[in-house]
Structure formats: C-alpha cells, structure tokens
Amino acid sequence: MSFQQGLSGLNGAAKSLDVIGNNVANASTVGFKQSQTQFADMYANSMNRSGNSPVGIGVTVANVAQQFTQGNISSSNNPLDIAINGDGFFQMAGSLEDKSPMYGRNGQFQLDKSGYIVNPSMNGAYLMGWAAGASGGDPVPLQIDTSSIPATTTTSISTKVNLDSRLSTPTTTPFNAADPTTYNNSTGVTIYDSLGNPYSVQTYYVKHDPDTTVTPPTTSWDVYAKVGDQTLVTTSGGTTPLSLGTMKFDSTGSLIGVFDSTGTQITSGLMSIDLTATGPNANIAAGGGNFASAITLSYAGSTQTGSAFVNLAQNQNGMPPGTLSSFSIDKDGNIVGSYSNQQTKNLGTVVLVNFANPNGLQPLGNNLYAATGAAGSPLVGKPSTGTFGSLQARAVEDSNVDLTAELVNMIVAQRVYQANSQTIKVQDTVLQTLVSLR
C-alpha cells in the first residue's frame, strides 16, 4: 500500500462530489442534463510487459458524461415556451452578425424589440429556423413578421342550397326585394372590394311552375340579388330587377344547369354579379375600392326536393385586411399567425438539430453546447420527422436530475472519500511504526 491509491481515491471522490453538487444545483434549470462521473483504474507500465498480477496505483476520472435522457415536460403560460419531446436540439446564434451555431434544449423563448425570437436564459441567443415560405436550406434567425395581410377582392361566390319543391309560385310579380310575397326564399353573404370594404349580398329565389311540355317535367327558379340596400338592375339608372340566371332541376331534384334570360344554357354553369366600373350596378361599390371583374356565382350541387329550404354551404374568396392578433407553434415547428380577419399564415418554422453522439458536444454554459468532431456532423430537420422529436408549445422540458438519486449518490461519494482517507491514515500508521523500530 502507498499513498498513491488513497490520494487518487480522494481526488476521484472529490470530483464525483463536484459533479453531484452541480447536478443538485441545476435541479430546477430548464433543459439541463445531468452528468455522471465515470472512473477508470490505473496501472503502472512494467518493463518488457513482465508481471502477471500488477498492483494498481489508484483510480482516475475517465470522463464526465452528460446524460441526454428526456426530462419531464411542464406546461407554462408563455406561448413562446417550447419543449422538445424526443431527440434533437434547438439551433441558436449568439448574435445577428455572428451566426456560429450553438445548440440547447432550454425552450424559454421571448420576442425582442425587433420581433426576433430569443432566449434570455441562453444569454439572449437567437432561435434559428426556416423563414416563412422556406422548407429547407440553412437556418436563419427567426423573426415574427407583424405586418398586416392586405385585402383580397371577391371574385367568386359558391352557394349550395336545397329548394323546397312543395312551394307554390309567388302570386305577386314582378320581383321586389322589399315584398316577400314576390319570392320564395333568400340567402346572404358578405363580399369585399379591393380595399376590403364589405358589402352584403342577398340572393333571392323565385319559383316557376313546372314545365310540363317536356317529359319528365322540369322546374325552374330565377335568381335575383341585392347588394347593400340596392337591388341589381338591368341598366344603369334603371329600375327593372336583374335576373342573374335561372336554375333548372329535373324530376329527381338534380340541377340540370343554369340558363340566361334568353333561355340559353350557360356552359360554364356560373352566374355573375357585375359591380365593375363599367357595369350597370357600378354605383353600388361606393367604398372607394373597386371590383376588377364580375363576381362569378356557382350553384353546383344544389338540389330541389320535397323538404324545407336550407342553405347547405356558402363561401366567397374575398377578405378584409387583417392585423396579426396572435401566433402559435405546432408540434411540427410551424409558427402559425392568426389575423383579425380570421385568416392564418405561416410565419416560419422552428428546426431541430441532431447528432450521432450528443455526448461529444462541448458544454459552453448557459445551457448551450458547441459541436465537435466527436459529436458528428449536425443533422438539421423538421420536428416530428425522421429521428427528430416533436415540439410542445406553452411547455418547457424540466431538468432530468433525479434529486433522490443524487442525494443517495452524494452519501455514497462521501463514504468513498472517507474510506480513501482511511487508507492514507493506515499508511501513515505503518510508516510511523517503521520509523519507531529500534
């Protein structure tokens, strides 16, 4: 026995206590990964490799390995908090000028004054990803675009109705939107001009008696419309209501087609509402915007049956301008903005980076790591694909430190330290005995 073994044991136990103390200190650090002290025995080299059972000369700390196991996921109230459930790291940049990549799993993000997503816990590092519209390439600092969505002019309306075949033909003519005895039913939809000004469009349906001159007989319904408080008319300044067209149904209730005022079938199957500057109803669009073309009106899928009138589906493709009201991050990393006009828009994508050997990463502090040759080449990809984990917004990944286990390990390391100190004490006693020999 010599002092060497005991001294190395003391050093190893002290190093183990350092690692355990660091784990305990970071038990509440978001995204922290605990470390484990790994030991190796030491032997002196013998000349000519002689000796069958050499006595070891102690222990050495071979490695301090971080354990990249999954931590528990806890919910939070911050919409920008992101937890990784599975493999992968966030890619970060220290500044907008120096985009040298760093990696971490602490997802406590915020917006800075310029709209960039940053992590104050990572010394203000910038979160990297793909910009809006991109699906690959080198990641860039993610910035939330707060600009408004411009208005979109309505160019088409799609309506699907079921008309009640049991209804009688109105006895009062001609059609008058103010007189409900001149029509059978009506539906409404809002359209938008080039500036996003809304206009209420009400369409009216007037039944004709069945045409018994054909076998089997058919039934027709005229369609009229009112925009705002003005009924569409045939000529500018006129008063004659404009029939947008006629829907004709066969004896099974299926739509045969759409016909114009002359009885000619419209091959496209589309009626139209002309609010353009050159149309007879141009004065209706008085909000300062315009309609560049006539608005097409489709009744595809409409039916006529012996049941009550019902509006089955209705939509149009225009919208008012919208401002960004909120945004969220889904499990695939997509940053989705929600706007005041009920529209959504992709604002970017959070990417993940994985390594063949995460234990080869070099800790930088602030929950950040740098890539090394031992870790392997960084693999960038979209969350929830391949080997990459998924993201969970409004949540953070807790430290994976098991406090109970660490406290037990602390007791063991303390006993190991005490035991090694005893070997030094015994060696000192032996030497003292030898010195005392006479």
pLDDT digits (tens, 9 = 90+) for 337-387: 999 998 999 999 999 999 999 999 999 999 899 999 999 999 999 999 999
Mean pLDDT along residues 319-347 = 94
If you average pLDDT over every residue of the chain, what do you get?
92
Q: Check pLDDT > 80 for residue 1.
A: no
pLDDT tens figures, 59-74 = 888 999 889 999 999 9
- pLDDT at position 50 is 58
pLDDT tens figures, 234-261 = 999 899 999 999 999 999 999 999 999 8
Mean pLDDT along residues 131-147 = 92
CA distance 184 to 163: 9
Mean pLDDT along residues 211-227 = 93
DSSP letter at 325?
E
Selected residue with higher pLDDT from 427 and 26: 26
- pLDDT at position 102 is 96
- pLDDT at position 23 is 94
Mean pLDDT along residues 102-121 = 95
**Range(s) of the chain covered by CATH 2.60.98.20:** 156-316
Mean pLDDT along residues 276-291 = 86
Spatial contact of 231 and 241, defined as CB atoms under 8 Å apart: yes
Give the percent of the chain with pLDDT over 90: 76
Radius of gyration of the chain (CA): 39
- pLDDT at position 244 is 97
Mean pLDDT along residues 86-101 = 93
Mean pLDDT along residues 124-143 = 93
SS3 97: coil
- pLDDT at position 420 is 86
What contacts 24+ positions apart, CB below 8 Å, involve 202-208?
202/177, 202/226, 203/159, 203/244, 203/297, 204/175, 204/177, 205/161, 205/163, 206/169, 206/170, 206/175, 206/182, 207/163, 207/167, 207/168, 207/169, 207/170, 208/169, 208/246
Mean pLDDT along residues 328-339 = 95
Q: What is the pTM of this model?
A: 0.78
Q: pLDDT tier at 53 (50, 70, 90 boundaries)? A: low
Q: Which CATH superfamily is domain 156-316 in?
A: Flagellar hook protein FlgE (2.60.98.20)
